[in-house]
Structures are given as structure tokens and as C-alpha cells.
Chains A and B, each alone.
Chain A
Amino acid sequence: MSLAELHLALLSAGPAHGYDLKGSYDAWFPDAKPLPFGQVYATLGRLVRDGLAEVVETRSEGGPERTVYAVTAAGRQRLREWLAEPAPPAVAGTEDLVRKAVVALRTRDPDRPASSFVDDQRAAHLRRIRALAAGDRSGAQDDLGSRLARRYAALHLDADLRWLDEAAAALETRSPHPDQEGPR
């Protein structure tokens, strides 16, 4: 994940401290894992070291001291270069799904047939899509970016479900012991 560039993008909206950046990140990418604070500060430290961001202010405002960061001209240039590169057309985030499906298909547990895995995974995916749609209806985080991020997640989950349907259909028609079949 391009955490450095994402931080530069968040800072390009205006100077901010780490706490704000984490909040913005979680709002921009509602279906991603929340960003740990430690990672925010470590990333900001590297950006400053590399001249891509700078410290512009230290505020205390009665509470703990907070450092305010801003993107530099070099940082903006890095962000432009990053955006100019197409993202690799790779499938992301589904490795666990594929691995579990393959394991479920290849290990024949009579107490837990592979179809149970497919059914349970389908239920989990549908619930997640439902939650994403509820996010659209709730009006919270209703900006275009958040909507598009939710839509991206829902469409990818739909693709997973179609693949699971194919897997389930293959399960029904497969030979009982495909691994022991000889070459044809």
C-alpha cells in the first residue's frame, strides 16, 4: 500500500496534525482497516526526513502538544507522479478467501463439507454489502469519494460471490476424488 503517497494526498487538502490525518484516512477509505496512529506518525516522520512534508507549527491548545505538518513542493510532485502511474490490475484483498476456498475444497472434512464454507462465506459477504449499502442510505460520509469507495468495495464483494457460486457449482459436478485421477 502506498501509505506515503496517501499521506501526501491527505495533507494536500491543507496542513494537519496526525490525529486529523487518521480521521481523514478512515473517512476516505471506509472499507479499509483503520489506520493505526503509530503508522501515521512513522509515515509522517519519513516524509519529513525525505523532504516531502514539513513541520509548520506545534500547537498545544491546552491539551497535549500536536505537530502540524504540510506537504512540500517535492511532496506534491511525488503525489502527481504516483497518480500518473496506473495501479497494477491485480486482485487485492481476496487472498484469504481464495486460500480458504481451495483448502475447503481439497481437505475433505466429513463434519464440515466444502459447501458449508461456501455458504458461510456467501452470508458474510452479503452482510458486508448490506452494511455498505446502509452507509449510503445513512447520509454519513456522503461525499462522492466515500460513496465511490463503498461502491468499489461492494462490486468487488459481488465479484467474490460470483466466483463462490462457480466454486459451488464445480463442487457439485466434480469427480469424488479429483486429486487421485491419473493423466488423461
Chain B
Amino acid sequence: MTAQRTAPTEPKVLARAEWPAGDDDTLPRIAGFVVSDFNPLVAEVAERCLRAYYGTPPAPGDRGARTGVVLASVRGDVTTADTVAEALRAGRRVPPLLFFQSNPNAVVGHVTSRWGLAGPVVCTSPFGDPLADGVAVAELLIGDGAAAEVLVIAADLATDGDDRDFAVAVLVTGNTTAER
């Protein structure tokens, strides 16, 4: 038998956004999320990408219902994790709001409820290029019929070796004839 692997169809990019968009770019705060810039970073780059394609929220019902979200972050919300660890070391109370933002799904819930995106939600810690890996996960969702479009977000807070926080988002579709 001849070995044969099926190459996935590469999704088409409908829209793209990055944060920061310039040296003086800022992150708007979002209600209910505290301490860390991770969640505002994810929310803002998602907002920019979706606005670039849809204008104002929500997405049209038939599109939003079939749009999934993939959030890829190598290190995740290290600020929230470190804040909790430090509170425990110091014997201080852990702020209850940190519970809600302690996993990456929470901010995705903020984005999906605002924009009416009711497809699958997948969060990952990728080991290769975060955006490329996020798109690879999106390909699986589209190829399986679980979503027609996927908002892929790659976001990481700055580490000592980075200049600043960085995030990129792309809205992709399996429909290669879709209009930009």
C-alpha cells in the first residue's frame, strides 16, 4: 500500500490585526479583569481584527454562529499566575476576581459574547510559531466541519527578553472564495 497523507486546505485570511499598532499604542481595560495586561491584550487584538471585517459587533448571526476562536499563548497569563503565587507566599487573601481570569477561556468568553461567536473555543500553549500553530488548529476545526470561520489569536506578555507585549489576530475561513 502506498502511504499518502492528506494535506489540509490552507484557510483564507479575511482580516488581520496586531497589537501594538504603533509605539504609543495603549490597551483599553475591560470590566471584570484586573491586575494583568494579558486579557486586555487578547480582547483588544480580537476587537481590532473583528472590527476590520465586520465593523461593529455583533457578527451577523449566520456567520457568528459558525465562527470558532483559537487562543494560542506560549506562556499564558503569567502575571495573574505570579500574582496568585505571591499572595500565597505572603499569606495574603487571593482576590476572587483572579479566579475568573485564571484560565485563558475567560477572556475568550468576553470576545465571543460581545461578537456572538458561537463556534468551538480552543486554547493552547504552542511550542512552535504561535500564530501558525493557531491556524493549524483552526484548519482542524474547519476541516472537521465544526466551524466555517475561526478567529485565531496569538498573544503573549513581554518577558525580560522582549520589548513589550505582543498579539496578532487573524480571521480565517475555509471558504477560499469568501470576499475580504
Tell whether A and B belong to one assembly: no
B binding-site residues for A, Cβ under 8 Å: none
A binding-site residues for B, Cβ under 8 Å: none
